[in-house]
Structure 1
């Protein structure tokens, strides 16, 4: 029974996979075409001076059979084909042109990244053909100019087509690799954002849930305030998850934030229908999302203070001095650092500072906790921060402070390079 989509879920886009032809089939078709073309030229010859017997058709079959080896030994195929053409004319068989029997071999060498061999083989054939047309004692000497133009055209077309096919294939491969890299980068970005946002909010929820549990029956006002913080953190987490799910459910190839209004509306309706409690809370107390930049650090500080942590904030960065990506990265680094303080540091105070110095942004988050010790093994949070900063052309350190506590420092450019 086919899997049914969830109620209200956006339909999965139907991706049509491109059909690929088995290379062996291509080689067989090309070999048959080569043999057939040469055989037709032989059969069309009405001159009885040359011999048009079984030997000529065996050569035609041989030229075609060589094409079957074009992928394994393309250079050998060129050499053997050129020698085969010479042998054919030494035996005084029906004329088939010098370049025509070698067209498939020259094309294959150029397609397999042996363009020099293809050009060399073609030049040898043209030179030998022109020489014997002009100095040989043959009745076809008057055809030398026509023969030269024909051979040059055939060789040039075969080599050019082979190079064009190879470049097209390489371009498709490069595009596929680039698409894979973009997909991987987007997955890492989503993973980092989910870790930062959900991890921070769950830490706040855990702390305030503990406060509420201890205050119930003793201080109902404190319990209500703690539960209010839990509700706000939960709503923020749900909003972030909904936004991420809408991106992941969007049509393939659609950039984040560019999904159609119809998809967004259906996705929001489905999420709200699936979570009536959260929806009713959001309707009762609608709040705009906190800014994800240095302007949002005060909101992070208020959340940490509500959890019992003293937070000092000193931000001295002129408005508009940072690119959006740098501003968002500074926010995420601060968010993750405060999350780690709440989870692991057992600290009472943390200081967040951001300032512009030497044309770069210097961000520092320091606490007075117990530190990480000499055997610090960075988890996904610190690793994610380092990845985020490195992608923007900056550097990040996270280590114990000399006088105790733990310090995270980030050095970021103010603007991304064009």
Structure 2
């Protein structure tokens, strides 16, 4: 039955089961054993009816069971040849158990046996024949039908549970994949913002310088244009390295973005009139992710100083204590930089501090930024071991 149900539609399975019931019962009727009169068209029509009930067994298993039992009683009451007990009701008992009506199947089987035994003994049949000879076979056949139906139901339930678990597992994998894609997009956005934002700010600043000096100070104009050219060239190199890192994130490409290269920020800051100083005391080689994130945080903080600070000096401090890396970027903007309000959402346009904080938190660290004497301070604490 289970073999067929995996290859045939439900209605075809029910049709085969109904045809089998009709055939078996018809053969038993044609044997013409016992009864007050021989088989006729009504007897065979009753066999066809038992088979036809199989088409309703899925939706109405209890009704099919009750009609089968009552039809069996009516058949014997009409005096037709004996067809046994287990054979006519086996399919109905199997169906009821298969669709979760185990109690109904057991109760119906007990009632059918009890009623049959009672009336046969009342009619004068020998107790030894009815009880000692036939009863065990009928009970075993009914019990086997019920057990088979319950087994099919149990296995179907297990398969449904396994299918549901597979669906939930696939759904979880899809969610995890979506989360990874989202994280990758955020990482790409931060990488592009940090790698391009700094140099484009410098280019914009010196383009204004060149425009104002044009026709008045040829040397200053030339110096501004030279700086724009060198900055643009460096930006393209940085962009190529970033794209290479996104395509194949290996350690060699990561090492290009390193805290050891923080001195490259001096030129752009100096050109903007900012005296940028460094106090970097890092002992052992930093983990690649920490090293790259530290550089990007310092780069973004210096970019904000160049773009927004009212001061003329800035200090970058970096040191590690063996377990965490401490970063600090402070300017002397006399009470705070112009960009502080923007970065904290007053205009709603800044993403610098948000990006720096995301980088720090991705490594299990923290980042704070705000006005302090003498200006605006960015502090970051980055664990040297990646979070598990």
Give the alignment's TM-score, normalised by structure 1: 0.65
How far did residue 148 of structure 1 move? 6.2
**Equivalent position of 2:200 in the other structure:** 202
- Comparing 200-209 and 83-92, the one that deviates more: 83-92
Distance verdict in 2 for CA 1:363–1:34, change over 3 Å: same
How large is the Cα RMSD of the aligned pairs? Answer: 3.7
Number of the residue aligned with 1:143: 141
Match of 1:417, SS? coil
- Show the counterpart of 2:170: 172
Shift of 1:305: 2.2
- Give runs of aligned pairs for residues 264-279 of structure 1, distance below 5 A: none
Post-superposition Cα deviations, 1:338-365, rounded to whole Å, max 9, x if no partner, equal 1111111122111111112472221111
**Residue from 303, 307, 312 that aligns with 2:272:** 307
> Any stretches of 5+ residues in structure 1 without a counterpart?
1-28, 67-79, 106-120, 248-254, 260-287
Structure 2 gap ranges (5+)? 30-42, 73-87, 118-134
Matched, 1:415 2:382: no
Q: Tell me which residue corresponds to 1:61.
A: 55
Contact 1:99 1:125 in 2 (8 A): no
The number of aligned residues is: 320
Structure (1 or 2) with the larger CA radius of gyration: 2
Of 38, 42, 53, the match for 2:18: 42
Cα distance change of structure 1 residues 56 and 404 upon mapping to structure 2, 3 Å threshold: farther
2:337 aligned with 1:371: yes
Listed as ranges, the matches of 1:310-325 within 5 Å are 310-320=275-285, 322-325=286-289
The CA deviation at 1:408 is 0.7
Distance 1:42 1:335 in 2: 80
1:87 corresponds to which residue? Answer: 66
Q: What corresponds to 1:380 in structure 2?
A: 351
- Do the aligned residues in 2 keep the contact of 1:99 with 1:155 (CA within 8 Å)? no
Find the aligned partners of 1:60 and 1:133 in 2 and give their Cα distance. 19
1:257 is aligned to 2:257: no
- TM-score (norm: length of structure 2): 0.69
* Cα distance in structure 1, aligned partners of 2:195 and 2:157: 57
Tell me the CA shift for residue 200 of structure 1: 0.6
The alignment partner of 2:317 has SS state of strand
**Contact in 1 for aligned 2:50/2:68 (Cα 8 Å):** no
Using the TM superposition, give the Cα deviation of residue 143 of structure 1 relative to its aligned residue in structure 2, in angstroms. 3.5
2:340 is equivalent to residue 346 of structure 1: no
Q: Which has the higher contact order (CA 8 A, sep 6+)?
A: 1
C-alpha separation between the residues in 2 aligned to 1:323 and 1:127? 70
> How has the CA–CA distance of structure 1 residues 158 and 129 changed in structure 2, closer, same or farther, with 3 Å as cutoff?
farther
Please state how far the C-alpha of 1:235 moved relative to its aligned partner.
2.3
Change (3 A) 1:201 1:171: same
State the alpha-carbon separation in 1 of the partners of residues 94 and 308 from structure 2: 77
In structure 2, the CA distance between the partners of 1:161 and 1:324, relative to structure 1 (3 Å rule), is: same
CA contact under 8 A between 2:69 and 2:108: conserved in structure 1? no
Question: In 2, Cα distance between the equivalents of 1:404 and 1:341?
Answer: 13
Contact 1:290–1:299, Cα closer than 8 Å, also in 2: no
